[in-house]
Amino acid sequence: MQTIVTLTMNPTIDKSATVSRVAAGRKLRCELPRHEPGGGGVNVSRAIGRLGGESLALYPAGGALGQMLERLLDQEKVPHSPVSIQGMTRENLTIFDQSTDEQFRFGMPGPTLTEEEWQACLDELVELDPRPDYVVGSGSLPPGTPEDFYARVARRVREMGGRAIVDTSEGPLQAAAEEGVYLLKPNMRELGQLAGHKLGDESTQEAVAKDLVESGQAEVIVVSLGAAGALLASREGLVRFRAPTVPIRSKIGAGDSMVAAIVLALVRGQAVEEAVRLGVAAGAAAVMTPGTELCRREDTERLYERMLVGVE
């Protein structure tokens, strides 16, 4: 049985609440807030669990919010391994304006990690037994963590005989690509960052993704295109997937749900093309859910079947 580990260097408590109307200068009375585990890899592990799979979530945690994060993951029955740090785990805030149906998202930078702390996370990964077949490095890096951290992860994973999947942005994304990984999942903006220029039409997008594969920066590129679906580039060629049309309630968690479905399908032996098709279905399923909720298994499977029969 193949195994999955997710690595989240900047986990968070996602706090969300609703107000009747957002207005400057007024005391805004919120409804009872909701607290959920968050951060890229943590959400990938949570979504894997919702889809019927299992993974180990590895992350640094500190302070009262770090303890809350551990409790919340326990409640969701997500296997996890926290690495203790001195700083306080961050908390992000999402406010929903009922009058406009708009979301206001406030992301915090996270605690500054010492070299000993971020190195401990890397050591924990390397020392895992059994060694993971897939390692998903996802999300932003907290202050103090070197920009090439995901590149270091990719190097260690390759030495361990596994495959690294990276979903991040800017400098950490560029460094990971230069090291070479199994799979990168940029969005259009991030694909432009890798190319060093803004992307124009579809042919330009495809050329950039193809070049990244041919240059060895990734064996597989999955470009998330939002409502337009996804673009897959691999040695086998280019494939575009149209996303199913669904009612949009919240776009939060769509990318993490996509990654979760892709890696879960891969460990179950599905081909890359089918894994990405399931990923697109999971991303679409996530936007159907309110707030910071991730994809639901029944929605994902139903949308995947719709994609297979060509309804959409």
Task: In whole angstroms, give the CA distance from residue 58 to residue 43.
Answer: 12
Give backbone dihedrals phi and psi of 261, rounded to 5 degrees, phi first: -65, -40
Which amino acid is it at 63?
Answer: G
* Tokens read off for 1: 């049985």
Residue with tokens 């399923």: 285
Task: In whole angstroms, give the CA distance from residue 256 to residue 265.
Answer: 14
84 SS3 class: strand
181 beta partners: 218
301 SS3 class: helix
201 annotated active-site: no
DSSP secondary structure code for residue 227 in this structure: G
Query: Catalytic: which of 14, 167, 256, 299?
Result: 256
Do the beta carbons of residue 131 and residue 56 sit within 8 Å? no
Do the beta carbons of residue 209 and residue 231 sit within 8 Å? yes
* Alpha-carbon distance values, 279 to 69, 157, 205, 222, 273 (Å): 26, 23, 20, 10, 10
Which amino acid is it at 29?
Answer: R
Task: In whole angstroms, give the CA distance from residue 1 to residue 3.
Answer: 7
Residues identified as active-site: 256
